[in-house]
């Protein structure tokens, strides 16, 4: 696909935060926390990319940078052919229509003092879209699209009167109402009960496919990524360690960390012995990172080179990229 | 005799709008050395059930009915003072996010010393010794005893919570969502630890979780709760392979299993009923694709339909057909 | 705005103490409006009975609470005293709440240097002892009720600002505020449409506390003799009773009633305010 057709194109995106360690340390000599440490990927219209990894791996910060809620420390972010890396807040009007978000906690994502109607009207008011009747039409259409029928029975409801599944549908409707081309969904169902999760997932899948949206799913849950995403990137300590088509990455993980992640997923069948998780120890502090591979302290296959030289994310012919000296 | 025998336990909450019947007649047993997984969705009463068992409840909760027999002693009618000597020694509870509720200005070791000295009557030296032994038992560095709770990672916190629960050699440990907040690799490590300890120490375990795959990995038996009642109970393997209750079938449909590859997940439409005024018949009837008229009028009782496996459903005799139909997406659409 | 009022009403309905506090305010407001009808005499009217000044009368059917040494009716003074009390209370509270809320909102939302400047200003305000400041200011600008109000407005915004700021910091973190940003809402819109409605109930509660504070302060300043000589307030009554040695004469009918009214007014403010904990932390709410 030609580059100009990409919705999201990030290269070498980094986000460092200053950490204030003690009360008296001055801002400029406090250490950096490397939350995101150089990630690159592309999402095309209709494409779904999943970013998976454990808490603290930088997946959420990456999502926030893509929505321009956070400015990158370094790197380049092209959105729909335009460089938006350093664009100011008030020049983002068009971007704010085109990039939308589905939040993790539907109980928090809607203003508790807004009715459902008011919540859905809000983006239309902000962007000055439509006359009154047109606005109502849009709201109706968005609500029907997310399966809340008939819409007017929900108009006057407040968030606390609705269930988690219904709220998440409204959050989705709010994202869709401005006709976006890109959606970031950060753990879209982790706060929902299992029995209603599937409904929301199926809905998102159907909508992003039919509207040809570029979608970025962020989740710690590989089974969810498997269910929704064409491509998967596994993040560890701010870096992508493996990326490729979801089916390939999950069926035959190559990076030792991905292997451990996949093996650690609980097995639903009690008769089957769960596979062994080979890695040990815990994640390094993102404040004080060593030379070489960031996974070296937990890797069962680590060699001398892993402690001295940082492995590059190497792309192979199969379309898979892996950041590992041993595998490559 | 079973180690724990819960009979028709009810735990209700007084609210401004009447009694909330959060747990409404729950019965199960836990044999010595076995583990039971109590699963269900938020608000189904699983946590309230164990709070009722150990009688650590909010002020507005009360037990209108039921027995909790631990080694033949009824905990419900026991005075608070007698109950206090049973907690920690006979049974201990690992609350959700147990370590986060420790006082942040005390060392982790202080929590251990308090339990061991106050409840166990040990001297300080004995207690320190025991605390170190417990830390080794769960695979934690004993130097970590001198840390503050916030210096522990999520996995270490859960290990420490388990060690604390084991302080006075209880026969029964109840764990409320012990791995929920953990990352998947740490979750696996903690689950392995729990399994190893159970085999090593021959303790019984009740584990509360919303995640059936966690039960599948750690528990011999499973009890599925819905809206304050147990709807199905049996061996974990049997229940997951051959679910008898439509709700269990639905849960299984909705649960993604990465090892079985991509298949369409099916949700159960709707939400559980209000427990302020629960429906007269089956509490799942409203969301059940197989509900008949009788289901909304008559409450089904738990009946044995397979060896050691009970379920509360009026259509148990058609279970084969229901299982087949439950796997079709259309079955679950437009139920409500 | 409307929903905030609704929130306050719902809160009053659930908290019996707050209900009592609100009832006391309503009672005072009615007294203030109906004062000329209820009070049998003017507040500074020197009453003559049979041509003689009726001074130091004990309570009777004619003078319910007796008279002062200048022959003024204590009951009428008490009733008319509600007016300056409420005027001072509500105007001071209004300025305190508006200033405190604005400072808290701006400081909490924008952070950075705006936050630093505003919060250092609050520190300065905290450093100034309150009552001496009022007395000095009134000494400079002349004794008037409005100068007392001004003095309070200059200092008392600090408490409200601090509390509102910390509340803004926590509301700002909530996902629905971020959702507003994702939708493209401007700073002002996020501040006033998303954040402010969620902190207004707290402002109202601090306002009710400020009413009590202001009444108490006016009384204290007047009692010390720095009050407005042309306004008969409860503090003025106490001052008057004190300098004419009503205490040593045991004229309880003169100085006890204004004391009780001051106490009621302050108490009402605190009864309403004590529920603020529950609004801040809804999880503490009794079930």
Do residues C231 and C84 make contact, with C-beta atoms less than 8 angstroms apart? Answer: yes
Judged against a pLDDT cut of 60, whether residue A27 lies above it is answered with no
pTM: 0.86
Give SS3 for A50. Answer: strand
Interface contact A194-B153, CB threshold 8 A: no
Provide the pLDDT for residue C287. Answer: 35
Rounded CA gap, C70 and C72, in Å? 6
How many beta carbons lie within 10 A of that of residue A181, not counting itself? 17
Angstrom distances, CA of residue C145 to CA of A34, C212, C214, C237, C238: 59, 16, 11, 15, 16
Burial of A257 (0-12, 13-18, 19+ CB in 10 A): buried
Q: Which of B251, B265, B156, B250 is nearest to B213 (CA)?
A: B251
The residue of chain C nearest to residue B59, with distances taken between CA atoms, is C287
Task: Give percent of chain C with pLDDT exceeding 90.
Answer: 31
Q: Which of C223, C280, A18, A56 is nearest to B181 (CA)?
A: A56
Judged against a pLDDT cut of 60, whether residue C91 lies above it is answered with yes
C28 to chain A, minimum CA–CA distance in Å?
32
Q: Starting at the earlier edge strand, list the strands of the sheet with A182-186.
A: A99-102, A182-186, A214-219, A48-52, A231-236, A239-245, A321-322, A314-315
What is the helix (H) or strand (E) element at residue A15, kind and residue range?
strand A8-18
pLDDT, chain A, mean: 91
Sign of CA dihedral A148, A154, A155, A161: negative
Comparison of pLDDT for A267 and C168, the residue scoring more: C168
Rounded CA gap, B45 and B30, in Å? 18
- State the Cα angle at C194 between A103 and C273, rounded to 5°: 115
The residue of chain C nearest to residue A159, with distances taken between CA atoms, is C176
Q: Where are the domains of chain B?
A: 104-169, 242-332
Judged against a pLDDT cut of 70, whether residue C3 lies above it is answered with no
Q: Which residues pair with B303 in a beta bridge?
A: B311
Instruction: Say which residues have a Cβ less than 8 Å from residue A236's Cβ, sequence separation at least 6.
Output: A53, A54, A57, A257, A283, A294, A295
Instruction: Write down the CATH number for the domain with range C9-49+61-284.
Output: 1.10.3720.10
CATH topology for A3-322?
Rossmann fold (3.40.50)
Spans of chain B below 70 pLDDT: none
Provide the pLDDT for residue A91. Answer: 83
Judged against a pLDDT cut of 50, whether residue A40 lies above it is answered with yes
Judged against a pLDDT cut of 50, whether residue C105 lies above it is answered with yes
- Ranking A27-31, A67-71, A118-122, B317-321 by mean pLDDT, the lowest is A27-31
Which residues of C fall within a CB distance of 8 Å from A93?
A: 184
- Identify which of A67, A108, A123 has the shortest CB distance to residue C176: A108
Interface contact C182-A96, CB threshold 8 A: yes
Rounded CA gap, A294 and A313, in Å? 13
- State the Cα angle at B127 between B126 and B129, rounded to 5°: 65
Mutate to test the interface with B, among A149, A161, A195 (most CBs of B within 10 A): A195
How many beta carbons lie within 10 A of that of residue B316, not counting itself? 17
Rounded CA gap, B52 and B75, in Å? 9
Which residues of C fall within a CB distance of 8 Å from A27?
A: none
Q: Which residues pair with B39 in a beta bridge?
A: B209, B224
Confidence of residue C240 (pLDDT cuts 50, 70, 90): confident
Q: Which of B75, B70, B142, B84 is nearest to B118 (CA)?
A: B84
Give SS3 for B243. Answer: coil
Burial of C140 (0-12, 13-18, 19+ CB in 10 A): exposed
Give SS3 for B120. Answer: coil
Confidence of residue C286 (pLDDT cuts 50, 70, 90): very low
Give SS3 for A34. Answer: strand
Q: Which of A185, A207, A13 is nearest to A99 (CA)?
A: A185
Q: Rounded to the nearest 5°, which phi and psi values hold at B143? A: -65, -25
Rounded CA gap, C268 and A167, in Å? 40
Do residues A52 and A234 make contact, with C-beta atoms less than 8 angstroms apart? Answer: yes
Judged against a pLDDT cut of 80, whether residue C10 lies above it is answered with no
Comparison of pLDDT for A201 and C280, the residue scoring more: A201
The residue of chain C nearest to residue B17, with distances taken between CA atoms, is C287
Comparison of pLDDT for A105 and A21, the residue scoring more: A105
Taking only the tens place, the pLDDT of each residue in A80-136 is 999 999 988 778 889 999 999 999 999 999 998 899 999 999 999 999 999 999 999
Interface contact A178-C183, CB threshold 8 A: yes
User: Residues B316, B321, B323, B328: what is their CA dihedral angle, to the nearest 10 degrees?
Assistant: -140
Taking only the tens place, the pLDDT of each residue in A143-198 is 999 999 899 999 999 998 999 999 999 999 999 999 999 999 999 999 999 889 99
Is residue C87 reached through a cis peptide bond, with omega within 30 degrees of 0 on the bond before it?
Answer: no
Taking only the tens place, the pLDDT of each residue in C204-229 is 888 888 888 888 888 888 888 888 88
Report the length, in residues, of chain A.
328
Provide the pLDDT for residue C45. Answer: 81
Q: Strand runs (DSSP E) across chain C, as ranges?
A: 48-49, 52-53
**B298 touches A at CB < 8 Å:** no
Interface contact A67-C182, CB threshold 8 A: yes
Rounded CA gap, A122 and A174, in Å? 9
Instruction: Say which residues have a Cβ less than 8 Å from residue C84's Cβ, sequence separation at least 6.
Output: C145, C218, C228, C231, C232, C233
Provide the pLDDT for residue B96. Answer: 85
- Ranking A6-20, B25-39, C66-80 by mean pLDDT, the lowest is C66-80
Interface contact A201-B265, CB threshold 8 A: yes
The residue of chain B nearest to residue C14, with distances taken between CA atoms, is B16
Give SS3 for A125. Answer: helix
Do residues A181 and A188 make contact, with C-beta atoms less than 8 angstroms apart? Answer: no
**B112 touches C at CB < 8 Å:** no
Q: Rounded to the nearest 5°, which phi and psi values hold at B204? A: -90, 155
Provide the pLDDT for residue A142. Answer: 95
Residue B124's Cβ-side half-sphere holds a number of Cα atoms within 13 Å equal to: 1
Do residues A214 and A43 make contact, with C-beta atoms less than 8 angstroms apart? Answer: yes
Q: Where are the domains of chain C?
A: 9-49+61-284
Mutate to test the interface with A, among C2, C110, C174, C176 (most CBs of A within 10 A): C176
DSSP code at position B255:
S
What is the helix (H) or strand (E) element at residue B222, kind and residue range?
strand B221-226
Q: What subunits make at least 3 CB pairs under 8 angstroms with A?
A: B, C
Q: Rounded to the nearest 5°, which phi and psi values hold at B42? A: -60, 135
How many beta carbons lie within 10 A of that of residue C123, not counting itself? 11
How many beta carbons lie within 10 A of that of residue A313, not counting itself? 19
Interface contact A174-C179, CB threshold 8 A: yes
User: Residues B324, B329, B334, B335: what is their CA dihedral angle, to the nearest 10 degrees?
Assistant: 30
Residue A36's Cβ-side half-sphere holds a number of Cα atoms within 13 Å equal to: 26
Q: Which of B188, B155, B185 is nearest to A53 (CA)?
A: B185
Which residues of C fall within a CB distance of 8 Å from B15?
A: 287
């Amino acid at each position: 696909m030609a580059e100009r057709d990409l919705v999201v194109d990030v290269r070498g995106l980094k986000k460092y935060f200053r950490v204030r360690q003690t009360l008296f340390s001055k801002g400029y000599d406090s250490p950096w926390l490397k939350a995101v440490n150089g990630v690159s990927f592309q999402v095309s219209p209709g494409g779904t990319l999943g970013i998976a990894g454990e808490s603290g791996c930088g997946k959420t910060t990456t999502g926030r940078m893509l929505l321009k809620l956070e400015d990158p420390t370094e790197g380049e972010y092209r959105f729909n052919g335009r460089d938006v890396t350093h664009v100011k807040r008030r020049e983002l009007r068009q971007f704010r229509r085109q990039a939308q978000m589905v939040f993790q906690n539907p109980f928090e994502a809607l203003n508790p003092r807004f009715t459902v109607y008011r919540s859905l009207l809000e983006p239309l008011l902000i962007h000055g879209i439509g006359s009154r009747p047109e606005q109502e039409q849009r709201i109706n259409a968005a609500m029907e699209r997310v399966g809340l029928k008939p819409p007017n029975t929900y108009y006057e409801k407040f968030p606390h009167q609705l269930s988690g599944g219904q709220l998440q549908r409204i959050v989705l409707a709010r994202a869709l109402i401005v006709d976006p081309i890109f959606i970031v969904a950060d753990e879209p169902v982790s706060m929902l009960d299992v029995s209603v999760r599937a409904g929301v997932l199926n809905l998102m899948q159907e909508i992003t496919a039919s509207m040809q949206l570029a979608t970025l799913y962020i989740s710690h849950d590989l089974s969810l990524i498997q269910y929704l995403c064409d491509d998967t990137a596994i993040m560890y300590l701010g870096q992508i360690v493996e990326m490729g088509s979801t089916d390939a990455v999950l069926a035959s993980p190559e990076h030792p960390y991905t292997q451990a992640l996949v093996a650690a997923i609980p097995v639903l069948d009690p008769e089957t012995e769960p596979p062994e998780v080979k890695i040990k120890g815990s994640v390094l502090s993102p404040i004080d990172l060593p030379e070489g591979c960031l996974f070296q302290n937990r890797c069962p296959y680590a060699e001398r080179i892993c402690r001295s030289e940082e492995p590059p994310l190497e792309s192979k012919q199969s379309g898979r990229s892996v950041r590992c000296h041993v595998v490559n | 005799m079973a180690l724990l025998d819960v009979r028709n336990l009810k735990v209700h909450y007084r609210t401004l709008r009447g009694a909330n019947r959060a747990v409404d007649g729950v019965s199960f047993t836990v044999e010595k050395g076995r583990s039971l997984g109590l699963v269900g969705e938020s608000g189904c009463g699983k946590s309230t059930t164990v709070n009722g068992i150990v009688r650590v409840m909010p002020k507005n909760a009360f037990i209108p009915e039921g027995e909790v027999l631990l080694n033949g002693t009824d905990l419900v009618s026991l005075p608070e003072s007698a109950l206090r000597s049973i907690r920690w020694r006979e049974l201990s509870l690992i609350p959700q996010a147990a370590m986060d509720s420790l006082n942040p200005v005390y060392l982790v070791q202080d929590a251990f010393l308090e339990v061991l000295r106050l409840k166990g009557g040990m001297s300080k030296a004995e207690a320190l010794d025991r605390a170190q032994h417990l830390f080794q038992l769960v695979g934690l560095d004993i130097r970590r005893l001198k840390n503050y709770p916030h210096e522990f990672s999520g996995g270490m916190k859960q290990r420490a919570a388990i060690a604390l629960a084991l302080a006075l050699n209880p026969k029964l440990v109840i764990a409320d969502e012990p791995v929920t907040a953990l990352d998947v690799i740490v979750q696996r490590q903690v689950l392995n630890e729990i399994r190893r300890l159970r085999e090593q120490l021959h303790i019984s375990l009740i584990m509360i979780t919303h995640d059936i795959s966690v039960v599948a990995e750690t528990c011999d038996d499973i009890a599925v709760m819905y809206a304050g009642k147990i709807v199905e109970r049996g061996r974990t393997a049997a229940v997951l392979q051959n679910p008898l209750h439509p709700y269990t079938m639905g849960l299984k449909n909705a649960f993604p299993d990465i090892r079985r590859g991509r298949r369409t997940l099916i949700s159960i439409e709707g939400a559980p009923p209000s427990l302020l005024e629960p429906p007269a018949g089956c509490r799942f009837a409203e969301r059940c694709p197989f509900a008949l008229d009788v289901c909304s009028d008559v409450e089904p009782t738990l009946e044995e339909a397979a060896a050691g496996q009970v379920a509360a459903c009026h259509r148990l005799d058609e279970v084969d057909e229901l299982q087949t139909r439950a796997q079709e997406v259309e079955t679950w659409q437009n139920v409500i | 705005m409307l929903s905030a009022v609704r929130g306050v009403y719902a809160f009053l309905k659930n908290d019996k103490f707050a209900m009592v506090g609100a009832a006391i305010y309503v009672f005072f407001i009615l007294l203030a409006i109906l004062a000329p009808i209820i009070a049998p005499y003017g507040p500074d009217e020197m009453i003559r009975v049979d041509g003689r000044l009726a001074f130091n009368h004990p309570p009777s059917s004619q003078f319910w609470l007796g008279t002062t040494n200048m022959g003024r009716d204590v009951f009428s003074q008490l009733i008319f005293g509600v007016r300056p009390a409420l005027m001072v209370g509500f105007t001071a509270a209004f300025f305190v709440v508006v200033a405190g809320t604005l400072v808290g909102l701006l400081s909490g939302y924008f952070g950075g240097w705006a936050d630093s400047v505003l919060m250092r200003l609050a520190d300065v305000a905290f450093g100034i002892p309150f009552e001496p400041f009022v007395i000095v200011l009134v000494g400079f600008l002349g004794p008037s009720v409005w100068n007392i109000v001004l003095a309070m407005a200059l200092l008392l915004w600090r408490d409200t600002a601090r509390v509102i700021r910390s509340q803004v910091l926590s509301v700002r973190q909530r996902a629905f505020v971020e959702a507003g940003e994702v939708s493209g809402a401007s700073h002002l819109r996020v501040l006033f449409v998303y954040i402010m409605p969620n902190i207004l109930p707290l402002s109202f509660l601090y306002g009710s506390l400020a009413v009590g504070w202001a009444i108490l302060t006016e009384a204290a300043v007047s009692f010390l003799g720095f009050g407005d000589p042309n306004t008969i307030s409860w503090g003025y009554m106490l001052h008057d009773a004190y300098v004419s040695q009503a205490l040593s004469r045991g004229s309880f009918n003169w100085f006890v009633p204004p004391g009780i009214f001051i106490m009621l007014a302050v108490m009402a403010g605190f009864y309403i305010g004590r529920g603020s904990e529950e609004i801040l932390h809804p999880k503490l709410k009794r079930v």
